[in-house]
């Protein structure tokens, strides 16, 4: 019989969410074990090593609000790259002594409930048991590779951006990038400057915003650290995790000249300010949305000299509503696209028919390639949970349960999964929020719930099925008055064939979400609690 290690809490994943949970659980004096698939801390940032990979939440907000960690850590840029983010995780480990409670290279293959708690098994043969389990597996973890016909016949090199090997050179190579989302934008910016020929295959363009990247001086960072606590707390009271407020009126309420001046003002600030500081009806009114799009298209179009490329990248008619799909941040994306060695293929006009030994057939033409980059994204929200052997108390796998649609209560609990919690999850403001802000909010809630259960002497908590129904219906109702349901993207899982497209984003913002979920703790609203 195998030895089974016993803990108070098991955590799956050692990215921002897993570290946040571990940090808070330790303060309660609970024993914790974290299992991580990768070889080190970082979650998605352990794997994200593709050319140009960097955060798109500006400094100082893409870090944890832990004074003993940020006191002696400086970032070098407004938007750190993947190397610096991994160095930051190493700093967290050093300062907080995290490693002793984490087992790396331990992919969870089974998580099952019995009357006395959760038992987790890993691919490397570890078995552990705990009263509680927190799933910190990330919303963008499980790589998605479409079933392209003939992909296995291609004699060149294929890399998914989520599994990019070290020391890949594209100098002098013919490269194809499939995808023009946030990752595709970052990769294009880098590889377009190196490859002899770069072909971007896309279905629709992204509405990129100016990053306005710059170096951070040591004096600048040290001066601002006095305000970090206030900035982070105010971020928790904002819609998206950044302590800013948008215009308290609609686009059409402003005079045209005033409106254009404000558009230009917030555009020049870079980051997500063109969204965060814009008028309050951008994703509510089609007419308002069109004016915001038209300004964007003029700004971007002015940077593209090639007329045919301009029509593809900043079309006169918007292919989707502005702000209803992720807007990547770019530095020189449109200048790179405009280069003569960079080509853009519109897959709506020239469908990708198949791969063959030397390249890709689109429409009626052959495009020969040496390297293909799959910037095809992830099985968002559910992919990391449906492939880890997670079963409910009846022995049903979550992959089967969620086949007809994802179900949660508060975006953190699920009916049929007692004493189990999720962080950075569906049915929360995940897609519309600064990651660390939402993660810390949810970890605070989960740890508060565990602390309350322990003080009450409770043995079990489980979300009611009716509470899930109500939570999902509420989010659907919230979104009905917006333009979000009119655009398909990874935000609603419409990009994965065979999966149910559904609204998965809580649209009312972080502050409203936190107030609402906190209220549920008071009398355990929507839960069955066993003492």
The Cα–Cα gap between 231 and 425 comes to 24
Q: Is 313 within a domain?
A: yes
Q: Are 435 and 317 members of one domain?
A: no
Domain assignment present for residue 314? The answer is yes
Tell me: do 326 and 362 sit in the same domain.
yes
> Domain check: are 361 and 450 in the same one?
no
Q: Tokens 């606590």 appear where?
A: 229
- Please, which residues have CB within 8 angstroms of residue 514's CB and are 6 or more apart in sequence? 236, 441, 445
CA distance 519 to 448: 12
The predicted pLDDT at position 214 comes to: 96
- CA 296 – CA 273 distance, rounded (Å): 13
Which candidate, 128, 139, 131, places its Cα nearest to that of 30? 131
Alpha-carbon distance of 334 to 50, in angstroms, equals: 19
Please count the residues of the chain. Answer: 531
- Mode of pairing for the β-strands spanning 174-178 and 371-374: parallel
C-alpha span between 382 and 138 (Å, rounded): 9
Q: What is the pLDDT of residue 1?
A: 47
348, 374, 400 - which closes a domain:
374
Q: Which residues are within 8 A (CB) of 336 and not within 5 positions of it... i.e. 6 or more apart?
A: 188, 189, 192, 193, 342
Does residue 76 lie in a domain region? yes
> Is residue 219 situated within a structural domain?
no
* Domain identity same for 209 and 254: yes
Q: Is residue 47 part of a domain?
A: yes
Is residue 531 a part of any domain in this protein? no
Contacts (Cβ under 8 Å, ≥6 apart) of 401: 392, 407, 416
Per the rule left: phi > 0, alpha: psi between -120 and 50, beta: everything else, 150 is: left
Q: Which helix (DSSP H) or strand (DSSP E) does residue 478 occupy?
A: helix 465-480
492: phi then psi, degrees, rounded to nearest 5: -120, 15
124, 183: one domain? no
Regarding whether 324 and 308 lie in a shared domain, the answer is yes
The values of phi and psi at residue 267, to 5°, are -65, -45
Q: Based on the domain organization, do 191 and 312 belong to the same domain? A: yes
- Torsion sign over Cα 289, 293, 296, 298: negative
At 315, list the tokens. 């079309």
Distance of CA 347 to the CA centre of its chain: 25
Nearest to 22 by CA among 70, 78, 85, 92: 92
In this structure, are residues 441 and 513 in contact, taking their beta carbons and an 8 Å threshold?
Answer: yes
Beta carbons of 355 and 149 less than 8 angstroms apart? yes
Grouping H, G, I as helix, E, B as strand and the rest as coil, residue 486 is helix
Both 208 and 330 in one domain: the answer is: yes
Q: Are 297 and 289 in contact (CB under 8 A)?
A: no
Q: What is the pLDDT of residue 384?
A: 85
Closest CA to 224 of 235, 212, 232, 236: 232
Pair 270, 210: CB distance under 8 Å: yes
How far is it, in rounded angstroms, from Cα 318 to Cα 448? 45
Could you say which of 374, 405, 429 is where a domain stops? Answer: 374
Using CB atoms within 10 Å of the CB of residue 5, give its burial: 0 to 12 exposed, 13 to 18 middle, 19+ buried.
middle
Element (H, E) at 67: helix 67-70
End residue of a domain, out of 374, 405, 426: 374
Which residues in the chain land under pLDDT 50?
1
Residues 116, 161, single domain; the answer is: no
**Which DSSP string corresponds to 142-169?**
SB-----TTGGG--SEEEEGGGPPTT--
DSSP-derived letter for residue 497 is T
- Is the Cβ–Cβ distance between 408 and 414 less than 8 Å? yes
415 and 199 Cβ atoms separated by less than 8 Å = no
In a domain, 364, yes or no: yes
Query: Is residue 302 packed enough to be buried (19+ CB in 10 Å), middle (13-18) or exposed (0-12)?
Result: exposed
Q: Which helix (H) or strand (E) holds 344?
A: strand 342-346
Quickly count helices (H) and strands (E) in the chain: 16, 19
Report which of 119, 122, 67 is spatially closest to residue 96, judged by C-alpha positions. Answer: 67
**Separation between Cα atoms, residue 497 and residue 486, nearest integer Å:** 18
Q: Are 89 and 42 in contact (CB under 8 A)?
A: yes
Residues 116 and 265 in one domain: no
Q: How many distinct structural domains can be found in the chain?
A: 2
Output the pTM of the full model.
0.96
Whether 103 is covered by a domain: the verdict is yes
**Whether residues 452 and 354 fall in one domain:** no
- State residue 93's pLDDT score: 98
Residues 341 and 390 in one domain: no
24 is in which domain, residue-wise? 5-142+379-462+508-524
Q: Is it true that the peptide bond before 156 is cis, omega within 30 degrees of 0?
A: no
What is the domain-level CATH number for residue 130?
A: 3.50.50.60
């Amino acid at each position: 019989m195998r030895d089974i290690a016993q803990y108070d809490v098991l955590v799956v994943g050692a990215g921002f969410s897993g570290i946040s949970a571990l940090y808070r659980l330790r303060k309660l004096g609970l024993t914790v074990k974290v299992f991580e698939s990768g070889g080190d801390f970082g979650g998605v940032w352990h794997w994200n090593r593709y050319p140009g990979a960097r955060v798109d939440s500006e400094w100082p907000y893409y870090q944890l609000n832990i004074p003993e960690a940020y006191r002696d850590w400086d970032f070098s840029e407004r938007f750190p790259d993947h190397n610096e983010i991994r160095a930051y995780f190493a700093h967290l480990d050093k300062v907080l002594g995290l490693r002793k409670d984490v087992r790396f290279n331990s992919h969870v293959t089974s998580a099952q409930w019995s009357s006395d708690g959760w038992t987790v098994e890993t691919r490397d043969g570890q078995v552990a048991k705990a009263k509680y389990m927190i799933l910190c597996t990330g919303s963008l973890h499980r790589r998605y590779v479409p079933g392209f016909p003939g992909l296995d016949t291609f004699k060149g090199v294929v890399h998914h951006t989520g599994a990019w090997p070290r020391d890949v050179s594209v100098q002098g190579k013919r490269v194809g990038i499939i995808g023009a989302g946030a990752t595709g934008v970052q990769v294009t910016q880098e590889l377009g400057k190196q490859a002899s020929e770069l072909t971007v295959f896309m279905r629709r363009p992204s509405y990129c915003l100016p990053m306005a990247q710059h170096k951070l001086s040591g004096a600048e960072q040290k001066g601002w650290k006095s305000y970090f606590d206030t900035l982070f707390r105010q971020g928790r009271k904002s819609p998206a995790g950044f302590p800013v407020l948008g215009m308290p009126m609609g686009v059409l309420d402003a005079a045209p000249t005033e409106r254009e001046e404000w558009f230009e003002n917030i555009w020049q600030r870079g980051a997500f300010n063109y969204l965060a500081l814009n008028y309050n009806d951008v994703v509510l009114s089609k007419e308002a949305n069109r004016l915001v799009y038209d300004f964007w298209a003029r700004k971007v179009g002015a940077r593209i000299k090639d007329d045919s490329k301009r029509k593809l990248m900043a079309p006169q008619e918007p292919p989707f509503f502005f702000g209803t799909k992720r807007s990547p941040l770019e530095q020189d994306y449109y200048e790179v696209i405009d280069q003569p060695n960079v080509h853009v293929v519109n897959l709506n006009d020239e469908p990708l028919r198949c791969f063959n030994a030397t390249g890709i057939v689109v429409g009626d033409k052959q495009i020969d390639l040496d390297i293909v980059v799959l910037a095809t994204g992830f099985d968002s929200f559910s992919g990391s949970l449906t492939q880890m052997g997670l079963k409910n108390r009846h022995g049903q796998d979550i992959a089967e349960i969620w086949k007809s649609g994802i179900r949660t209560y508060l975006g953190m609990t699920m009916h049929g999964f007692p004493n189990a919690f999720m962080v950075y999850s569906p049915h929360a403001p995940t897609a519309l929020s600064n990651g660390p802000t939402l993660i810390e909010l949810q970890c605070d809630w989960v740890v508060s719930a565990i602390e309350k259960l322990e003080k009450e002497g409770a043995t079990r908590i489980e979300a009611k099925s009716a509470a899930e129904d109500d939570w999902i219906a509420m989010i659907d109702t919230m979104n009905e008055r917006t333009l979000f349901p009119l655009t398909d993207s990874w935000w609603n899982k419409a990009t994965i064939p065979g999966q149910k497209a559904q609204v998965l984003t809580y649209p009312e913002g972080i502050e409203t979400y936190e107030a609402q979920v906190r209220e549920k703790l008071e009398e355990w609203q929507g839960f069955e609690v066993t003492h």
